[in-house]
Amino acid sequence: MFKRMLIIALITAPGLARAAEPSPGARLAATCAACHGTAGATQGSTLPPLAGQPRQTLSAALHAFKTGKREATIMTQLAKGYTDEQIEQLAAYFAAQKEPAK
Looking up residue 55, the CATH number of its domain turns out to be: 1.10.760.10
Domain total in the chain: 1
Q: Tell me whether residue 27 is in a domain.
A: yes
Residues 6+ apart with CB under 8 A from 80: 65, 66
CA distance 77 to 99: 26
71: containing domain: 23-95
pLDDT tens string, the chain, 102 residues long: the values are: 545 554 555 555 555 555 678 888 999 999 999 999 889 988 888 888 999 999 999 999 999 999 999 999 999 999 999 999 999 999 999 999 998 776
Q: Tell me whether residue 102 is in a domain.
A: no
Q: Tell me whether residue 18 is in a domain.
A: no
For 57-72, the pLDDT digits (tens) are 999 999 999 999 999 9
Q: What is the DSSP string of 74-99?
A: THHHHHHTS-HHHHHHHHHHHHTSPP
Q: Tell me whether residue 55 is in a domain.
A: yes
Q: Tell me whether residue 1 is in a domain.
A: no
Q: Tell me whether residue 62 is in a domain.
A: yes
pLDDT at 70: 95
Q: Tell me whether residue 101 is in a domain.
A: no
DSSP 43: -
